[in-house]
Amino acid sequence: MNVTPQESWNHTVNNSTNSTAYDYGLPVVVPLSFFLVVSMVLAFVGNVMVILTIVRHRGMRTRTNLLLANLAVADILVAVLDMPIALVTIIKGDWIFSTSFCYFNGFTVGLGLMLSVHTLVCISIHKFISITRPFSTCMTPRKIVMMIVAAWVWTILFNLTPTPLIGLTNTTYKKGASQCGPLPPKQPKQFVHSAINTACNLVIPMIVMCYCYYRIFKEVKDHLSRMRDFADASVRNSIIQQKRITETLCIVLSIFVLFWTPYIVYSLSVVFLGIERVREIFNPIVYLFGYMNSACNPIIYALRSPSFRRGFSEIICRDEGAMSGRSVGFTGDERGFLNLINLHNLGDERYPVFEGTIKPERLQPSICAIALTKAIHCPQD
């Protein structure tokens, strides 16, 4: 007898009076809720600032930063669509929304995770080709956009497989969970879904990224050793810059793996041990770690990149000249003085951590700088 998705849902939720309700108590709910709220705010505000910094400054609109902007979009989706639902579910101790919204929640949870994974793969491939084949022209901005579109298409299509539209498996709410997700595999097609998910969204991406970064660091090390004695200083500095960029991207990848490893262990335990042998409390904890990762990337950029620090500072401090979007007219002497101030402030930009910088000529002067130049050129009394 065929069972419809609605009947499967009703059987899962209603086979007993409290089949999905689970009260963890205040000692568990309060800290989980606190860290969820903090992660939600930091992830949303931080990643919005990343996108604004890239959009506002032409020098920051590079191929690498275009991929970082896509990564920020994925993290914003997690902060807006996933974390609030997890917060309500943890506080209530049960799924209080509709069946249709459960399918939507399962879709968005998978969307954020898989989009981040495949964006990180695109970043590693882009840096691998750029550094190991510096004269190659295949990594054009158009190709980068095509890679981003491919990541979105695959992620959307795969996350439709647990919905009634495709029905390779079913999405449901599990007792004690903080969100909806695919059923633990029991039927052949569910094992097929799980195998495809593990291979295409975990194993293959990790192999590709590990290989790319291994080759990148090996290439950079070889270049530096060959050019130690005779290389031009500008060439050597360029290689060092690429090394620092790659190191920062490796940090982003490492933090991602660190925070999502508990989820991977939990999922494999559910598949191979059975959900009845895995304690309910692990579900909201492992997902919380994954959600916290969405707040980490802007912090990494701020710590590692002077350009992003400057962009964030511009947004937070609401510099009137920069926010107005209008150029301010100066005399030649005043403009030269302001350029001197900007160049002094950009002294740490010799080795930018990301491709692209916020160029001095694109930085609008602050009111303080305007007042200072006017004071210098005031007639003496």
Would you place residue 53 in the very low, low, confident or very high pLDDT band (cuts 50, 70, 90)?
very high
More confident residue, 232 or 336: 232
pLDDT digits (tens, 9 = 90+) for 55-79: 998 888 889 999 999 999 999 999 9
What pLDDT does 358 receive?
Answer: 58
> What domain range is 372 assigned to?
326-376
Token pair of 346, please?
């950009």
- The structural domain count of the chain equals 2
Token pair of 117, please?
């994974």
What pLDDT does 353 receive?
Answer: 45
Q: Are residues 300 and 218 in the same domain?
A: yes
Q: Are residues 207 and 354 in the same domain?
A: no
Of the residues 270, 304, 338, which one is the last residue of a structural domain?
Answer: 304
Q: Contact 223/239 with Cβ under 8 angstroms?
A: yes
What pLDDT does 134 receive?
Answer: 76
Token pair of 285, please?
């904890």
Q: How many CB atoms lie within 10 A of CB 3?
A: 11
Q: Are residues 298 and 343 in the same domain?
A: no
Q: Contact 284/32 with Cβ under 8 angstroms?
A: yes
**10: amino acid identity, one letter:** N
Residue 18 lies in a domain: no
Alpha helices in 159-295 (DSSP H): 188-198, 204-226, 233-273, 282-293
Q: Is the pLDDT of residue 21 over 50?
A: yes
CATH code where residue 267 lies: 1.20.1070.10
Residue 316 lies in a domain: no
Residue 312, H or E segment: helix 306-317
Q: Are residues 299 and 332 in the same domain?
A: no
Q: Given phi > 0 = left and psi -120 to 50 = alpha, else beta, which region is 318?
A: left
Radius of gyration of the chain (CA): 25
Token pair of 91, please?
């506080």
Q: Are residues 351 and 206 in the same domain?
A: no
Would you place residue 160 in the very low, low, confident or very high pLDDT band (cuts 50, 70, 90)?
very high
Q: Is the pLDDT of residue 325 over 90?
A: no
Q: Are residues 58 and 160 in the same domain?
A: yes
Q: Given phi > 0 = left and psi -120 to 50 = alpha, else beta, which region is 114?
A: alpha
Strand partners, 172: 181
Of the residues 304, 336, 361, which one is the last residue of a structural domain?
Answer: 304
Alpha helices in 57-176 (DSSP H): 63-77, 83-92, 99-132, 141-158
**How far is the C-alpha of 304 from the C-alpha of 244, rounded, in Å?**
9
Q: What mean pLDDT do residues 189-203 have?
A: 90
What pLDDT does 218 receive?
Answer: 86
Q: What percent of the chain has pLDDT over 70?
A: 76
Residue 343 lies in a domain: yes
Most confident of 201-210, 217-226, 232-241, 345-354: 201-210
Q: What is the mean pLDDT of the chain?
A: 79
Would you place residue 47 in the very low, low, confident or very high pLDDT band (cuts 50, 70, 90)?
very high
What pLDDT does 156 receive?
Answer: 96
Residue 15 lies in a domain: no
What pLDDT does 237 receive?
Answer: 72
More confident residue, 326 or 230: 230
Q: Are residues 274 and 371 in the same domain?
A: no
Of the residues 304, 338, 358, which one is the last residue of a structural domain?
Answer: 304
Q: Is the pLDDT of residue 372 over 60?
A: no
Would you place residue 235 in the very low, low, confident or very high pLDDT band (cuts 50, 70, 90)?
low
Q: Is the pLDDT of residue 369 over 60?
A: no
Token pair of 16, please?
């007993």
Residue 75 lies in a domain: yes
Residue 76 neighbours by CB under 8 Å, 6+ apart = 43, 44, 47, 48, 51
Residue 240 lies in a domain: yes
pLDDT digits (tens, 9 = 90+) for 110-128: 999 999 999 999 999 998 9
Q: Is the pLDDT of residue 154 over 70?
A: yes
Residue 317 lies in a domain: no
Would you place residue 137 in the very low, low, confident or very high pLDDT band (cuts 50, 70, 90)?
confident
More confident residue, 89 or 376: 89
**How far is the C-alpha of 228 from the C-alpha of 217, rounded, in Å?**
16
| Closest listed residue to residue 21, CA positions, set 102, 93, 97 | 93
- CA dihedral over 118, 36, 284, 175, signed as positive or negative: negative
Q: Are residues 226 and 97 in the same domain?
A: yes
**How far is the C-alpha of 175 from the C-alpha of 266, rounded, in Å?**
15
Q: Is the pLDDT of residue 240 over 70?
A: yes
What pLDDT does 260 receive?
Answer: 93
What pLDDT does 233 receive?
Answer: 67
Q: Is the pLDDT of residue 316 over 60?
A: yes
Would you place residue 102 in the very low, low, confident or very high pLDDT band (cuts 50, 70, 90)?
very high
> How far, in Å, are 35, 46, 215, 320 from residue 316 at the CA level?
23, 11, 38, 11
What pLDDT does 223 receive?
Answer: 76
Lowest model confidence (mean pLDDT) among 18-32, 122-136, 273-287, 316-330: 316-330
Q: Are residues 212 and 338 in the same domain?
A: no
Residue 87 lies in a domain: yes
Q: Are residues 68 and 203 in the same domain?
A: yes
3-state SS class at 180: strand
Write down the pTM of the prediction: 0.78
More confident residue, 319 or 42: 42
What pLDDT does 366 receive?
Answer: 40
Q: Are residues 338 and 223 in the same domain?
A: no
Q: Is the pLDDT of residue 8 over 50?
A: no
Q: Are residues 232 and 332 in the same domain?
A: no
What pLDDT does 339 receive?
Answer: 40
Q: Given phi > 0 = left and psi -120 to 50 = alpha, else beta, which region is 21?
A: beta
